[in-house]
Structure formats: C-alpha cells, structure tokens
Amino acid sequence: MKRYEFTVNADSSRERLDVFLSVQQTEISRSRLKKLIVEGRVTVNGVEQRAGYKVRTGDRITIQVPAPVALDTSPEDIPLDIIFEDEYFIVLNKPVGMVVHPAPGHSAGTLVNALLHHCKDLSGIGGVERPGIVHRLDKDTSGLVMAAKTETAHKNLARQFKNREIQKEYLAIVKGNVKTDRGSIQAPIGRHKVHRKKMDTRALNGREAQTEYEVVHRAEGWSYLRLWPRTGRTHQIRVHLASIHHPVIGDNLYGGKSPGLKMARQALHAHRLELKHPITDSNLSFCAPLPPDMAIFLQSHGYDPK
C-alpha cells in the first residue's frame, strides 16, 4: 500500500479534487485517480469525497494506493527485437503472430509475457491486466510497439497518444490500383452491428477517425502505400482502406483475400514512430525495417523496396 498526503494552499482553493490531485503529483494518471476516488481510497480530512468536491485551503488529502494484484500472467523468456530501451520505456519490433496482451485463448506467448521476463518490474504499471502497455498492434500486424517502465512514463506517453502528438507511419500492400497519389480517409469507426469482431465505418456509434496515405508504388492489381493514422481507433487502417475498396492484402476479415495476391497475414507494418521522450522531452524517432514476408511479396511482384 502506497500512501500520498497533500495539504491544500490558498492558490488551489475551490479546485476540483481530481484536478488538484492530478496537478500535485505525476505518478498516478487522472483516470486511475478517479477510480481510486470511487473506491473510497481518497479522503479529505479523513472523509471520503467525490471527484467533483471543491477543495478548501487547509484541507488534508490522503491517497491510499493498493499494492498491485498479482498477475496470473507468467514471465516467459521470449526473444525480443529491441529497437530502443532506457530506464523509462522500451520500443520493440513486434513480430507477426504475437499477441500484445493476454486474452481468452492467448494466455501465454504474448508480448506482456515477454516483457514481464525482460523488465522484471512492470507489474501494475498502467494496470495489472496490461502492465506497461501504452498502445497495441493486432496479432498479425508487425512493427513498432512501446511499453512504459514507470508510472510517470506511462502517464506521459498515454497523454501524447491521446493528444495526437505521437506520429505513426505504417506501410501496407493493398488490393487494386489506388487512383490518387495522396489522400485522406475521414470516416467514423464503430463496432459492426452484427459481426462483433469487426469494426465498421457505417456504425451508428462511430467515433471520428482519419487516415492519410501516399502511394509508393502501383502494379497490376495492387498498390504499396505509406499511411499516417491521425486517430487511434480499433482496426482503423484496415477498416478505412476497406471502405475505399482497397483492403489490405491478406486481411480476410475486411476483404483482403485474393487468389492471385497471397499473403499469410495482413500486409500491414508499423514502420515509424516519432514522439517526445516521456521524461527529457527530447524529440525521438524510431524505425522498424520492412519485414521479410512483405519485402518478398514486393520483390516477387517486380518492385524492390530498398
């Protein structure tokens, strides 16, 4: 159990309780603070209060953060392709076929299993179900993924993602010849009303989504694209490309199956990340090379991606 104590001064009087606490410390995210308040783990002068309580000069506020619940997920010695690592966060090149975090049917062999073995002290960072994970990639999407190693780094990176300050670049091979050299797909994305594993641009509960793209190369029946998702919706790039009738080759869920253009998985790769270091604020850029299966496809169809 960790314990934090604060006394309200005159400058902070009349602030909301959750706002005051989010300003006074950097270890706990605002969303987690709200959860702790709901659970009764935050008191003002010894009394539980709501998140909207207006603090007063002299109020004594205490936060009690319970120790992380023991993870059912076990550390596993799985090799990692590390692009960058310091004491605050790690950037990895995730291989095709690796699930990011445990879920029904995938309790072992995940990125979380590997990270728990490699980093040793991730338990509870960002929540016990997904320790350290800031964002995710689909199982059959390769490329860059980050994990935080401290609560402060997790909070900062999550904020950068939420505020769309992190620039992501993907590479994809899609069906058909994309007509325009550059374009922007702007269509809301929500859960499909019938197929619950699918997302849809025609869903009634769709949320704003935008993906920009550039054609790198065109050939008979396919195009090679560079893409920049400006939002972070589930399956965003796959859904957006399918919505303009150019699904990712190999993406059977969204129409990417093609007899003449075969890939064992969706031809989508998280190629580049640009962000600010969560502690030093310095500009960082990371790149994961095109994976062998996508490179072989391009070369076998007459295009050298080098």
Instruction: Name the active-site residue from 18, 59, 138, 140.
Output: 138
In terms of Cα–Cα distance, which of 98, 172, 171 is closest to 133? 98
Question: CB under 8 Å to 30, separation ≥6 — which residues?
Answer: 18, 22
Query: Which class for 163: exposed (0-12), middle (13-18), buried (19 or more C-beta within 10 A)?
Result: exposed
Q: How far apart are CA 239 and CA 77, in angstroms?
A: 34
DSSP 8-state code for residue 186: E
Q: How far apart are CA 5 and CA 256, in angstroms?
A: 55
138 as an active site residue: the answer is yes
Q: How far apart are CA 199 and CA 206, in angstroms?
A: 9
Q: Which residues are known to be catalytic?
A: 138
